[in-house]
Amino acid sequence: MEDKKCLCRNGDIKVVACSGASNVGQIANQSAIELAKDNVAGFFCLAGVGAHIKGMVKSAKEAGLMIAIDGCPVQCAAKTLQHAEIEPAIQIVVTELGIEKSPDLVHDEKACIKVLEKVKEELAA
């Protein structure tokens, strides 16, 4: 049987995201992907934390800085972390950036840029 390994990127800064069934969930998720591609943060598996997989929870707790990107005020990403006793250092809520939630499962490139800029602004503060 092959080893089961997490392929989440290591690093001091980690990001988790909502990937909810709306445009803002998809914007949150795509923004986290772009942060990882730009080497700003390691994309971390929120589902693994939510499932209380010991090694993943431990890794998340050991992050130097955890970023949660939520699509809407329900804040599933941040609440999932908090349920595992992990407090995000930075939390971005896409709808608080003036982006309206809709049932469309598409991410808008301009909206993602807005989220990325907000994360980078928070990191610089």
Q: What predicted TM-score, i.e. pTM, was given to this entire model? A: 0.90
DSSP class of residue 73 equals T
Confidence of residue 11 (pLDDT cuts 50, 70, 90): low
80-99 residue pLDDT tens:
999 999 999 999 999 999 99
- 106 vs 77, more confident: 77
Q: What pLDDT is recorded for position 107?
A: 84
Confidence of residue 4 (pLDDT cuts 50, 70, 90): low
Q: Mean pLDDT over residues 103-113, rounded?
A: 93
Type of residue numbered 45: C
Other residues' Cβ atoms within 10 Å of the Cβ of residue 70: 26
Q: Is 98 left (phi over 0), alpha (psi -120 to 50) or beta?
A: left
Sequence ranges of the domains in the chain: 19-124
- Dist. CA 116–CA 123, nearest whole Å: 11
β-bridge mates for residue 90, sequence order: 67
Q: What pLDDT is recorded for position 98?
A: 97
Laid out side by side, the sheet with 42-43 consists of 42-43, 13-17, 65-70, 90-93
Helix axes 109-124, 23-37, angle to 10 degrees: 60
Q: What pLDDT is recorded for position 47?
A: 97
